[in-house]
Amino acid sequence: MSVIKSAPSIHILPSYPLLIAAGILLDLVYNYESIRIFDKIEPLLKFLSFLGLGGTQVVLLALLLLMSYAFSKGSVLQGRVKRLIFTGIAAVAFSGLLVQAIKHMVGRPRPRLRDLWGIAGPTFAGGFDSFPSGHSTTSFALASVAAFYFPHMRLPVFVAAAAIAVSRILLGSHFPGDVAGGIILGIIAGKLAVRWSEEYLKKRYGVCMETAKGPGKKDPTA
C-alpha cells in the first residue's frame, strides 16, 4: 500500500525571523490616523475581515462538506476534500483557542489606544487583546491545511489569507506585528493539525493522504 505524501514536520523556517523583523519595523512606521485613506475601500476590507472569522470559516467548510457529496462516492477527490474539511475545522478551532489564550496573556493594546509598546500582561480588559491577530491566525492555519491537501491551490489560498491579514491592519484593528505573529502561529497550528490528522488516518486506515490514483480507484477514508 503506497503512501503519496506524509504529514509535514514542524520546524522554524528562515522566513519566520524575517517576518518577525518586518512586523517590528512596520510597527515603528504604523500610524493609526494615516489608515483613514483606505476609507473608500472599507466595505471590501470589512468583507475580507468577515471571511477571517473562525465561525465564518467553519460554516464555509460545512458548506463544502455538503458539496463534496456531489463527487463520486469513495473517490480519491472526495476523500481528499473530506480530509481538508475535518482537518481544517480542527485547525481553525485549535488555532482560535490558542490565539485567544495568548491575546489575553500578553494584553497588547489595540492601535486605537495609541500605545505601540504597551503590554498590560494577563487581562480581559477591552482593547487589550491585539497580539496576535486572531483573523490572521485562523486564516493561515486553514490556508496551510488547504495547501497540504491541494498543493496546486497553494498560491491562491495563501494570497486570500494574506488579504484577510492586511485588512486587519488597514481597518485599524491590529498593528503589523500582530498580524506577523498571527501568520506564524497560524502556519504552525495548521501544520500540527495536518500532522495529527494524518497520523490518525495512518493508524486507523493504514493510509496517509491517498492510497491510489486514477479512474476507478477508491479511497477507504472517503
pLDDT band of residue 69 (cuts 50, 70, 90) is: confident
Question: Which of 140, 129, 65, 141 has its CA nearest to residue 100?
Answer: 129
* pLDDT one-digit tens code per residue, 186-221: 999 999 999 999 998 888 766 666 443 444 455 555
Evaluate if residue 62 carries a pLDDT over 90.
yes
What cell was used for 108? 497588547
What cell was used for 93? 478551532
- Can you give the pLDDT at residue 214? 42
Evaluate if residue 26 carries a pLDDT over 70.
yes
* pLDDT one-digit tens code per residue, 102-160: 999 999 999 988 777 778 888 888 889 999 999 999 999 999 999 999 999 999 999 99
CA distance 96 to 89: 10
Domain extent listing, the chain: 52-115+129-205
Q: Are 194 and 80 in contact (CB under 8 A)?
A: no
Question: Which of 182, 188, 174, 185 has its CA nearest to residue 26?
Answer: 174
Q: Are 168 and 174 in contact (CB under 8 A)?
A: yes
Evaluate if residue 184 carries a pLDDT over 90.
yes
Evaluate if residue 8 carries a pLDDT over 60.
no
Evaluate if residue 12 carries a pLDDT over 60.
no
Sign for the CA dihedral angle at 25, 138, 45, 153 comes to positive
CA distance 161 to 164: 5
